[in-house]
Amino acid sequence: MEKIKIAIATNGRLKPMGTFSRNYIEYLPFSKIVLFGGFVPYFYMGTSQKQQKILRYWYSLLSFKNQEKLSQLIKNRFKKILQKEKIDCVLAEFMNTGSAIREACEELNIPIVSNVLGYEIHQDAVLKKNYESYKKLAAYKSIVVPVAKNMVPRLKKIGFQEEQIIFSPLGARDEFFEIHPDYSSQNFVAIGRFAEMKSPLSTIKAFHKVLKECPNAKLLFAGEGELFEDTKNLVNQLNIQNSVEFVGWVTPEEQINLLSKSAIFIQHSVTTSTGDAEGTPVAILEASAAGLPIVSTRHGGIVDTVIDGKTGYLVEENDWEEMGNKMIELLQNPDRLKEFGQNGKKFISENFSMRKHIEEVEKAIRKAVNL
């Protein structure tokens, strides 16, 4: 452990959340504490739900349900933790977390490094609500780490300078590079939330087209979400339920098993009605690291991680027919399928490994501490 001490701030209300935080806890070479409980986090990792409930109730009584007074109580507790722990830098999991803690950190002269995952600057309502606080974060001793290149111009428009921006998508963990896909399986796999941004109905329509040419193909569809029932209903309407297996939410171990018995990874990401868009989808990074060719859309950070015609195929958003064509093309050309998969494994290893991402975040923290 080095002398630099950081606080990892995650806005999970009941517990620390997110792939980013888990990897930072494990791999960053600094002394660290983890805080959660809201956009201004004030619980240590390990705080029981009973303890959380007691403190929340006590703060509610002290503030007389006055939101401004409650916010001040939470901010003061957050500041006291930073002072007590002698924190040198706060690493925020989201940019709106970074902007929410900015005032407290500025009062203590503690720099902030903040991830930018996408929804903070792509989703219209979130951007509008936080725009002024983002500008204040840009004017402070802060560094932002966007996970997709298309976020950089938006960050500059807000006011972040070139030297405050370090592009670094989350990388694939080492165990995914050890996977050996089953290229002869004719199995497609999709892993992600059943939500508007992932357009699961487009995925089903594309797969339905595949079945007309490749009747032995199968789709393993993992995840949960608000569009699950709609997706399941479409499968029933198309009478393809024998070819689609809904796996539910999967653990990392189950995810590795799914990739191991599949040949091709698919994901039809689209920009939502509110303007929300993907950053760099971790599931695509991990599938490509595992050696699966990708069929996806020209969307968000996906264009940075899939080389069209070399590690997979990209189609326009909502063009499920062309997506189906590309899926058929790969199934009918097994040599190309395997070649794309191996190209992807090499490309992700060289450019998007977890090790590389951690090195970039470490670099950002060192730079921030010296601002």
pLDDT one digit per residue (tens) for the chain, 371 residues = 458 999 999 877 655 556 667 788 888 999 999 999 888 999 998 888 899 899 988 988 888 878 888 889 999 999 999 999 999 999 998 999 999 999 999 999 999 999 998 888 888 888 899 999 999 999 999 999 998 888 999 999 999 999 999 998 878 888 999 999 999 999 999 999 999 999 999 999 999 999 999 999 999 999 999 999 999 999 999 999 999 999 999 988 899 999 999 999 999 999 988 888 787 788 999 999 999 999 999 998 899 899 999 999 999 999 999 999 999 999 999 999 999 999 999 999 988 888 888 999 999 999 999 87
289 in Cβ contact with 176 (< 8 Å): yes
Domain boundaries, the chain: 2-171+353-369, 174-351
Which positions ≥6 away from 194 have C-beta within 8 Å? 200, 223, 224, 225, 226, 227, 228, 230, 231
188 in Cβ contact with 327 (< 8 Å): yes
CATH number of the structural domain 2-171+353-369: 3.40.50.2000
Tokens found for residue 110? 């503690």
User: What is the structure's pLDDT at 133?
Assistant: 96
Q: Which strand (E) or helix (H) includes residue 183?
A: none
CATH of 174-351, one of 3.30.200.210, 3.30.470.20, 3.40.50.1980, 3.40.50.2000: 3.40.50.2000
Which positions ≥6 away from 118 have C-beta within 8 Å? 147, 148, 151, 276, 277, 278, 279, 300, 301
User: What is the structure's pLDDT at 169?
Assistant: 80
278 in Cβ contact with 297 (< 8 Å): no
User: What is the structure's pLDDT at 150?
Assistant: 85
Per-residue CA distances from 369 to 67, 72, 171, 324, 366 (Å): 33, 26, 24, 49, 5
Three-class secondary structure of residue 271 per DSSP: coil
What whole-number distance in Å separates Cα of residue 36 and Cα of residue 9?
A: 6
Helix residue ranges per DSSP H, the chain: 19-27, 49-63, 67-85, 95-100, 102-108, 119-122, 124-139, 152-158, 200-213, 228-237, 252-260, 282-289, 302-305, 320-331, 334-351, 354-369
Q: How far is CA 285 from the centre of its chain?
A: 11
What whole-number distance in Å separates Cα of residue 89 and Cα of residue 110?
A: 6
Burial grade of 22 (CB within 10 A; 0-12, 13-18, 19 or more) = middle
- The bridge status of strand 244-248 relative to strand 312-315 is unpaired
Q: Do domains 2-171+353-369 and 174-351 have the same CATH topology?
A: yes
What whole-number distance in Å separates Cα of residue 33 and Cα of residue 21?
A: 11
Q: How far is CA 277 from the centre of its chain?
A: 11
